[in-house]
Amino acid sequence: MGLFTGKKGIIMGVVNEFSIAAGIAKTLHAEGATLGLSHLPDKDGRDRMAKRVQRVSDPLDVTFIKPCDVTLDGDIQRFFEEVKEHFGSIDFLVHSIAFAPLDDIRCPTLEATREGFKVAMDISVYSFIAVAREASKLMAPGSSIVTLSYFGGEKVIGGYNLMGVCKSALEMSTRYLAHDLGPRHIRVNAVSSGPIRTMAASAVGDFSDMLGLNAAVAPMGRNVSSEEVGKAAAYLLSDLSSATTGEILHVDCGYHIMGSPGHAIKRLTENPASAH
């Protein structure tokens, strides 16, 4: 009997089998969860996103896979109406959605456009508020909501730029949602993952440097895996964290605790390849 046996929930933001959301889905499935997935709508009718997500869903016996455009309130409402029809109620929600126009994330924050800022904040932050509002209507006391963040929302990480501003807003949204949903005994938390090579990460400038720096500076001397993030998310989504809400849980091999390069100079001097 698994940690999530008899529990049902939705994971939003699975892009392909390499995404962090896929790692979470695999962990929850292994613990007995019944899952539903969302994906980006295909505008051209070719179902490319649906086919990518299917590579994740097939091994996990997922029977509910629907598109959802989180920039449209009506589409979010439609999606969760379908969730209600299929599942009745849900026990958890994972929000793993972020986006900024490429030009706006790769330029210095100083040069980000007004429109790019609005798009990035809408999709990366407001979507969390919007989906939490609809999902919580289907949740009983004891349910849990988790979103995905990164340390670039707390401290400046070169190359993360506008997305760091978004993650900062996302983390504060997590705390305010935890306050709002606390009286209903629905918990809201975030996992702040170390850098992982995903499709979304490829948009970030100097990402290879971020991986190397994280591994060199982190006390554990390595980077985190999507499976490890999945385990942390499972903790926050499960009854094991029944008194934890409004928390930003760092899963980054300890990188966030460092105020100096630590072991980095020695590691990079003795074996430069070990940082990657």
Which of the following is catalytic: 126, 150, 235, 255? 150
Instruction: Give Cα 158 to chain centroid, integer Å.
Output: 20
* Long-range contacts, stretch 86-89, CB < 8 angstroms, 24+ apart: 86/36, 87/8, 87/34, 87/36, 87/138, 88/138, 89/8, 89/138, 89/139, 89/140
Which of the following is catalytic: 126, 160, 176, 255? 160
User: How far from each other are the two terminal CA atoms of the chain, in whole angstroms?
Assistant: 37
For residue 242, the one-letter residue type is S
Active site residue 160: yes
The answer to whether residues 150 and 192 touch, using CB atoms and an 8 Å cutoff, is yes
Helical axes 114-121 vs 162-181, angle rounded to 10°: 40
Buried b (16+ CB within 10 A) or exposed e, 73-107: eeebebbbeebeeebeebbbbbbbbbbbbeebbbb
Active site residue 150: yes
Residues labelled catalytic: 150, 160
